[in-house]
Amino acid sequence: MPDLNRQWLLKRRPTGAVTRDDFDYVTSAIPEPGEGELLVRNLVISCDPTQRGWIAGDTYLPAVKIGEVVRSFAAGRVVASKNARYKEGDLVQGLFGWQDYVIAAHGREAAPGPVAPGVPLETAMSLLGMTGLTAYFGLFDIGKPQPGETVLVSGAAGATGSVVGQLAKLHGCRTIGIAGGPAKCKMLVDELGFDAAIDYKSERIGARLKELAPKGVDVFFDNVGGEALDAALARLAMKGRIVLCGGISQYDGDRSGGGPANYLNLVVKRGRMEGFLILDYLKRAPEGVAFLAERLLAGKLKDRIDLKHGLENAPETLQRLFAGQNDGKQLLRIAE
């Protein structure tokens, strides 16, 4: 175990793609927990597109301040506890940041949450964590797919999208994924059971949708925005629903984007477009975890994890999301 706390601090707000130069890599003394607090050794860090927003400015959470530890979800082991609810060795997760050690306490941003017993940390941070829950609640609560309907997913080979497509298929829907490159598109059909895939890097999404969904798209689960959203709006079926999960194609810019074209088709098709945040569903997390765990154990759902190693590689591991280099849920293991 290191005898110092390595930390990545925010040096400046990125204006384009995130680079290593946006951060400072420093060491400080390992902090001591006070009354009610825990000292947690971070073990696995979650890499999420939303971190780009957290360091750029205020979003649904206040912006990370310059000089503060970079915010991220992480899971780790309690190494010292001054809180009767936790003991040394317990596994916990929360907004623990890019650092070896964190002081966690209830009522703080770094509040400890449980890790289900017997679940590997990687799974707890992926299919049975925020990622799987985002797919589950976004698809079923907002998208409300019916068996036989056509569900389109953008970012389909990514962490959230790959779960959405599998869930929609298990629910009896026809599923179409949009992803970048032939390898990802082949994987969607051959390994995850999508009915079809569109390679947005070499194909026109709108033209392909005309062929693949001649009666239109009933549910579009959007992780990407931009061209994908425009194309789906144009091909929306009557009473179609668009689930706004994210818009990664917009994150490296100033997010002003110009707005979607074809939105008036929502009027013609009596459609609905609705955003959601998984943070609003945390009270219902046990329901989602139980649903997902049952299907994972039955071999009906695959948890695709892309694991990198070393806290020193945190910026480059985050960058992978925006370059489409991740193959499933991007995680960073920083200690065994």
Ligand X SMILES: NC(=O)c1ccc[n+]([C@@H]2O[C@H](COP(=O)([O-])OP(=O)(O)OC[C@H]3O[C@@H](n4cnc5c(N)ncnc54)[C@H](OP(=O)(O)O)[C@@H]3O)[C@@H](O)[C@H]2O)c1
Residues within the interface to ligand X (CB under 6 A): 48-50, 131, 134, 155, 157-161, 179-180, 184, 223-224, 245-249, 276-278, 321-322, 324, 326, 330
Nearest distance from residue 317's CB to ligand X, in Å? 12
Nearest distance from residue 223's CB to ligand X, in Å? 4
For the record, the structure tokens of 201 come out as 């890097």
Q: Which of residues 42 and 330 has its CB atom nearest to ligand X in the complex?
A: 330
Nearest distance from residue 103's CB to ligand X, in Å? 26
For residues 218 and 197, give the distance between their C-alpha atoms in angstroms, rounded to a whole number. 16
Query: What is the DSSP track for 77-134?
Result: EEEEE-STT--TT-EEEES--SBSEEEE-TTSSS--EE--TT--HHHHTTTTSHHHHH
Q: Which of residues 28 and 59 has its CB atom nearest to ligand X in the complex?
A: 59
For residues 226 and 259, give the distance between their C-alpha atoms in angstroms, rounded to a whole number. 8
Nearest distance from residue 85's CB to ligand X, in Å? 27
For residues 46 and 118, give the distance between their C-alpha atoms in angstroms, rounded to a whole number. 19
Nearest distance from residue 302's CB to ligand X, in Å? 14
For residues 42 and 94, give the distance between their C-alpha atoms in angstroms, rounded to a whole number. 10
Q: Which of residues 110 and 321 has its CB atom nearest to ligand X in the complex?
A: 321
267: Cβ contacts below 8 Å, ≥ 6 apart: none
For the record, the structure tokens of 184 come out as 């990802």
Q: Which of residues 25 and 276 has its CB atom nearest to ligand X in the complex?
A: 276
Kindly report the backbone phi and psi dihedral angles of residue 137, in degrees, each rounded to the nearest multiple of 5, phi listed first: -75, -40
* Residue whose entry in the numeric block shows the structure tokens 């899971």: 75
Q: Which of residues 152 and 224 has its CB atom nearest to ligand X in the complex?
A: 224
Q: Which of residues 119 and 318 has its CB atom nearest to ligand X in the complex?
A: 318
> How big is the CA angle at 196 (ends 192 and 201), to the nearest 5 degrees?
100
Nearest distance from residue 47's CB to ligand X, in Å? 8
For the record, the structure tokens of 313 come out as 């590689």
Neighbours of 255 (CB within 10 A): 13
